[in-house]
Amino acid sequence: MGQAVYGLIGWPVGHSASPAMMNAAFQEMGEPAVYGLFPVQPSRIEAAMAGLAALSIRGVNVTIPHKQAVLPWLSDVSDEARFAGAVNTISVDADSGRMSGHNTDVSGWWKSVSDAQKTPWEAAIVLGAGGAARAIAAALALYSPATRLRIAARNVQKAEEIASGFRDKIAIEAVPWEKRCAAIEQAELVVQATPVGMWPRDGESPVENAGCFHSGQVVQDIVYRPLETAFLKLAASQGAKTLDGLNMLVHQGAAAIQFWMKRQAPVEVMRTQALAAVGGTPAH
Backbone angles phi, psi at 70, to 5 degrees: -80, -15
Give yes or no for residue 19 binding ligand NAP (CB under 6 A).
Answer: no
Q: Report the distance separating Cα 60 and Cα 89, nearest Å.
A: 6
Give yes or no for residue 23 binding ligand NAP (CB under 6 A).
Answer: no
β-strands 218-221, 241-243 pairing: parallel
Binding segment for ligand NAP (CB under 6 A), chosen from 29-37, 96-104, 126-134, 140-148, is 126-134
Give yes or no for residue 133 binding ligand NAP (CB under 6 A).
Answer: yes
Give yes or no for residue 183 binding ligand NAP (CB under 6 A).
Answer: no
Query: Nearer Cβ to ligand NAP, position 4 or 246?
Result: 246
Give yes or no for residue 147 binding ligand NAP (CB under 6 A).
Answer: no
Q: Scan residues 56-75 and list those touching ligand NAP (CB under 6 A).
A: none
Give yes or no for residue 248 binding ligand NAP (CB under 6 A).
Answer: yes
Q: Which of 82, 148, 158, 169 binds ligand NAP (CB under 6 A)?
A: 158
| Three-state DSSP state, 255 | helix
Give yes or no for residue 105 binding ligand NAP (CB under 6 A).
Answer: yes
Q: Report the distance separating Cα 278 and Cα 66, nearest Å.
A: 23
| Three-state DSSP state, 169 | coil
Q: Which of 125, 137, 191, 193 binds ligand NAP (CB under 6 A)?
A: 193
Query: Nearer Cβ to ligand NAP, position 100 or 194?
Result: 194
What is the side-by-side order of every strand in the sheet holding 57-62? 33-39, 4-10, 57-62, 89-92, 99-102, 76-77
Q: Which is it for the CA torsion 140, 147, 222, 109, positive or negative?
A: negative
**What CA–CA distances, in Å, run from 142 to 84, 230, 270?**
10, 31, 26
Q: Which of 252, 259, 278, 283 binds ligand NAP (CB under 6 A)?
A: 252
Q: Report the distance separating Cα 85 and Cα 78, nearest Å.
A: 10
- 118 catalytic residue (yes or no): no
Binding-site ranges for ligand NAP (CB under 6 A): 105, 128-133, 153-155, 158, 193-196, 198, 206, 222-224, 245, 248-249, 252
**Which residues form the catalytic set?**
67
